[in-house]
Every structure is written in C-alpha cells, then in structure tokens.
Amino acid sequence: MPILSTTLTTLARSLLAVGLCAAASSSFALTVYTAGPEGLMKTLAAGYEAQTGVKVDYFQGTTGKVMARLEAEAANPQADVLISASWDSAVDLDKRGWLLAYESPNAAQVPAQYKAPSYVAQGLSALAIAWNPASNTPRPSDWADLAKPEYKDLVNMPDPAQSGTALELLSGLEAANSASAWSLFESLKANGMNLAGANAQALNPVLQGAKAAVFGAVDYITYSAQAKGEKVDIIFPSSGTVVAARPMMVLKSSKNQDDAKKFIDYVLSDAGQQAVADTYLIPARADVKAKRPTLVEIKALPEASAQERDGREALLKRFSALFAR
C-alpha cells in the first residue's frame, strides 16, 4: 500500500507539473485578432516566434467578424493585438479608451497620417476596379464607366455592411463629390450592380467570368490573384480613390503588453514589412519597397475628416436602403 500510495502521489505530482507547465506555456502565448491575408499572418506569427520564442495564436476574419468577436468578449477580453482593415475601427476604439498608447521605434519611417499615439498602419491598400479583360466589355477608366449599359448586371461591389474598406470608399466618394456621388450610386443600382458579401466574394465571380468588374476591389487581393495567373486587371480610377490604411493596435486589456509591443515592433521591422510587401500590400514604412504601384502612382482622394467619419453610420443606412439590404 505505501508503494502504491507513493506511486499515485508521484503521478499526481507529475500531472500537476505538466498542467502547470502547460498553463505557464499558454500564459506566454500572444493572441492576435486580424483582418487581412491569412498567409501574411502565418508568416508574421512564425517570424515573431522565431525571434522572441513567444507563440502567437490568432483569429482571422473580416473586419466585421473580428470587431464583433472583440465586442462579444468585452467582459472577458482575449486579444492582445488587433489588426483591422478599417482605420475607423482604431479611431473608435481609441475614443472608447480600449487602446494602449505605444509608439514603436520602427515607426519612424511611417508617414505621419498613418500613425497615431495608440495605433499605426501595418500596410496600405487602395480601392480599385478589378476588370476581367475577357468579359467582352470596354476597359473602364473611372467609376462612372461601370454604370454604362455595357456593364448591365455585370458589376459586383463588396457589401459595405461587411467590408470596412467598401464603406470607406463610399464615404470618400461622397465627401469628394457630394450629390453627384449619390447620382452615381443610384445609376449603379439601376444598372444592376450587385452587393456580394465581403471582398473575396465580390471578386471571385469576376475571376470566373460570371461578372465583368468589381466596383471597389481591394487591390492587394486582386494583385495576388493576378500573380497566380488569373486574368484580371487592376485599374485605379482617374477621378481618384480611397487609400485604406490597415491599423495595428495593442489593447489596454492585454495581459501581455510587453510582448504585444514587441509584436508591433516586429511587424514594422525590415522582415515584417517585407512580408507585408510580399502580399501586395503597400508597406507602412516609406523606406520599404512595394511589389505593386505605390501612393505616388495612385490619385488618392483627400484623407477623411472627423466629420466624414462621424457620418458613416448614416451613410451606410442610406446606401443599404438604396440597395434594399
């Protein structure tokens, strides 16, 4: 009996030790919630872990899904770092006091408009027209071309209720063009433009030939498809488009704030920004070379004002009503 008792005691201690080790190991894991290319997140997680020894767990989804999960966990926060596809989400969370102020030393080469005391761009993208040259439609050069009869029922748009970048595009066009922007939206509706879920859902029918073009395609997704051999052109409209910065931020509720700061540092390092460039995003750092057209080659609409950002909820309601969503 003493031998058995001793054996059981030893086993219990061993199991307890294993449990404690597992708990200790998981306590050092960093949790990142991210919208954007999954391949990029895998690369960044692997690089960060190799450099620091800290494991990265992540949840990948659209900006809408990521923000919904963050809100659902408000009483018991799980995320340490958030990477969004919508600059508005960072502005909103900062106003609510959810973000930790941190300026990475690697952010020195990030242009001033793409960083703030509590968040900084991971990379940038621009909204474009994705056009299938085999669609038997004329090559478009501006947004209004997609409202022409040749494009009747052949245009998709990412649903701005699901895509933060699509909402930014609507907002930018409205701010730049006022009433004429709504005339364009109404013409697109009358011409049969379809709201087709998130960004990839809008693009896939164009790649397959069922549709001719995407109004407001996320350029890096389209460049990636092109690099894989898909027949698709990326056209930046002559009248201007929205440049969408993808903000990274450390949540104030994080229990791993030091590691979270180091993750931001890593993403803004040479290796991290090269990984960003490899996914056809424009790197946040101006000194890192992109693999696609950069900001100097794209006519960008003016940066959004606070008034414009505040009006986006009403804009979405009006646009959704127009398209009977």
Residue ranges of the annotated binding site for Fe cation are: 220
- For residues 161 and 215, give the distance between their C-alpha atoms in angstroms, rounded to a whole number: 15
Give 57's contacts (C-beta < 8 A, 6+ positions apart): 29, 30, 31, 32
Give the annotated binding-site residues.
220
For residue 149, CA distances in Å to 152, 188, 233 come to 5, 10, 20
Give 235's contacts (C-beta < 8 A, 6+ positions apart): 128, 129, 130, 131, 139, 140, 141
- For residues 244 and 158, give the distance between their C-alpha atoms in angstroms, rounded to a whole number: 15
- For residues 179 and 255, give the distance between their C-alpha atoms in angstroms, rounded to a whole number: 48
Number of residues that make up the chain: 325
| Adjacent-strand bridge partners of 172 | none
Give 323's contacts (C-beta < 8 A, 6+ positions apart): 189, 195
Question: What is the dihedral angle through the alpha carbons of 65, 93, 87, 91, rounded to the nearest 10 degrees?
Answer: 160
- For residues 273 and 203, give the distance between their C-alpha atoms in angstroms, rounded to a whole number: 26
